[in-house]
Structure 1
């Protein structure tokens, strides 16, 4: 990245940081700061139609604590339900995730199709880091494909860094252990879903998307989490081979 691009992005954010500098870091004010940062991401990056910050709450659930609009809420909810998407990947890998076209990207096929149907064309998602702990992810959505520039990437990374400092400082002393355990559980859930998907593909001689749709339909019909349905598929397969 060219130094001038990073410097320009930092200059653009000076006013944003000034707005939140004096906030007390209680739980409530940290949430307010996150909301301001989400709004700043949407406002500063003119191609963004929506933005949000996703964190792990005190019970270990993934939840959007700050979203600018219904578009961001809908996109995030689909990621949590499906167990896939750029926000979850940014969180799990602690790296920036870029999706330029939801109609052609194949990394998260079920989520990308859902996002495209909702009118989302492209996405950027950056991890929210505090020291060595990943608290969640900040993301921006656009209604057109290829909407975000390299400068937009760096603006989002700077905002996510600020969010991590604010939100991390507001956490209790046991936050790293709690967050680590929650993230491990999220990864285990994703592994179970992928394993069950592979089993259904082999069993029914079908493709990945059709197998995943079978799991999702069962989850919705039974009102149970997708990962729970997936583990049941894996356990039943183990019982038949033992």
Structure 2
């Protein structure tokens, strides 16, 4: 167990240096696969309106089986991500909790799973899922360790998301500011008017403000007005 704690601490340290949610998730799943001796791993994320989506799958079968879980609304990923608990499935083909999905997983060669929810800042953001080709590949000891690992992973992913969002907002503000400057120079207007022009073009064309601003920066011209 002490050795596992050291590995987790090492992974957490590496995650802190990663910029971007996608590469952070990839690191989480690859490390989990090695740490727990899983054949595959993936992360279920809770998107807007409760939609579930898989990222960081280490094998195409992860995306395939997860998509089926989301469609059927049954399976370890769904339970762990939405109900917020640890889910251990030792023999999927015989597990009565998922009468439709379990046999489908078995038919695709996956016979066991271990899933834990991911929570950050008091909010459930998804689940971390391990897949085994053998029955009884995971046990309660793995479950306890996965809970510890998932707690650190969720915090790292939340931090990566915050940094990515801030960087995106800064980039957007920079592009809009440059576009405002170009319009001020070319049209002889002030900053407030330049922003109002960009906003009006955005609303009239149903195009994101950032896209309008980027067009101005690239071409030094406003896009053509939409036709009725």
- Whether the TM-score (by the shorter chain) exceeds 0.5 is yes
- The residue that corresponds to 1:108 in the other structure is 98
Q: Please list, as runs of the form range in 1=range in 2, the aligned pairs for 1:138-153 lying within 5 A after superposition.
A: 138-153=128-143
State the SS of the aligned residue for 1:153.
helix
Q: 1:119 aligns with which of 109, 116, 141?
A: 109
State the structure with more CA Rg. Answer: 2
- The residue that corresponds to 1:157 in the other structure is 147
Report the CA distance between 1:131 and its aligned residue: 2.4
Report the CA distance between 1:140 and its aligned residue: 0.3
- The residue that corresponds to 2:62 in the other structure is 72
Q: Would you say 1:18 and 2:9 are equivalent positions?
A: no
Report the CA distance between 1:170 and its aligned residue: 4.4
Q: Is the 8 A contact 1:96 1:126 kept in 2?
A: yes
State the SS of the aligned residue for 1:119.
coil
- The residue that corresponds to 1:54 in the other structure is 44
Q: Is the 8 A contact 2:81 2:126 kept in 1?
A: yes
Report the CA distance between 1:58 and its aligned residue: 4.6
TM, length-normalised to structure 2: 0.66
Which 4+ runs in 1 deviate beyond 6 A? none
Matches of 1:140 and 1:45, distance apart in 2: 8
- In structure 2, stretches of 5+ residues that fail to align are 163-228
Q: Is the 8 A contact 2:30 2:58 kept in 1?
A: yes
Instruction: Tell me: higher relative CO, structure 1 or 2? Use CA pairs within 8 A at least 6 residues apart.
Output: 1
- The residue that corresponds to 1:40 in the other structure is 31
Report the CA distance between 1:161 and its aligned residue: 1.3
- The residue that corresponds to 1:133 in the other structure is 123
Q: Is the 8 A contact 2:46 2:81 kept in 1?
A: no
- In structure 1, stretches of 5+ residues that fail to align are 1-5, 173-242
Matches of 2:27 and 2:145, distance apart in 1: 15
Matches of 2:88 and 2:94, distance apart in 1: 13
Alignment length (residue pairs): 163
Superposition CA RMSD, Å: 2.0
